[in-house]
């Protein structure tokens, strides 16, 4: 019986650990309602996009700096991706459930 337990334990240790899946967060804003003229924007434009983190956000974060593994945002005219060097960083705040509030 002891040998059987030892073999089972060794077999379980040989199994790969499950990998954490990436967590994707998305955002879709309201259509723009005001802008200066002349402008490339219309009232049909809005900000939307997503970013991916290797682990979910924790609860009760305040202005926490994150480093997405990928992101893509657009305002209907411009698009920001990791290839854009001006997109320097992201900060988020979360509620008690880890939902983004800011």
Tell whether 7 is covered by a domain. no
Look up the domain containing 24 and give its range.
18-92
Tell whether 40 is covered by a domain. yes
How much is the pTM?
0.70
Tell whether 12 is covered by a domain. no
Tell whether 25 is covered by a domain. yes
In the chain, the number of structural domains is 1
Tell whether 100 is covered by a domain. no
Tell whether 78 is covered by a domain. yes
- Report pLDDT for 85: 60
Tell whether 4 is covered by a domain. no
Tell whether 27 is covered by a domain. yes
70-101: burial string, b at 16+ Cβ within 10 Å, e else: ebebebeeeeeeeeeeeeeeeebebeeeeeee
Q: What is the mean pLDDT of each run of 10 residues along the chain (102 residues)?
A: 44 50 91 87 92 94 92 91 72 92 89
């Amino acid at each position: 019986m002891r040998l059987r337990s030892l073999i089972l334990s060794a077999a379980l240790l040989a199994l790969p650990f499950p990998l954490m899946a990436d967590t994707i967060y998305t955002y879709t804003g309201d259509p723009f309602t005001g802008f200066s003229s002349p402008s490339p924007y219309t009232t049909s434009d809005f900000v939307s996009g997503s970013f991916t983190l290797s682990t979910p956000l924790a609860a009760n974060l305040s202005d926490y700096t994150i480093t997405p593994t990928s992101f893509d945002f657009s305002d209907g005219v411009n698009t920001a991706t990791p290839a854009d060097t001006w997109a320097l960083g992201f900060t988020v705040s979360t509620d008690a459930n880890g939902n983004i509030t800011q």
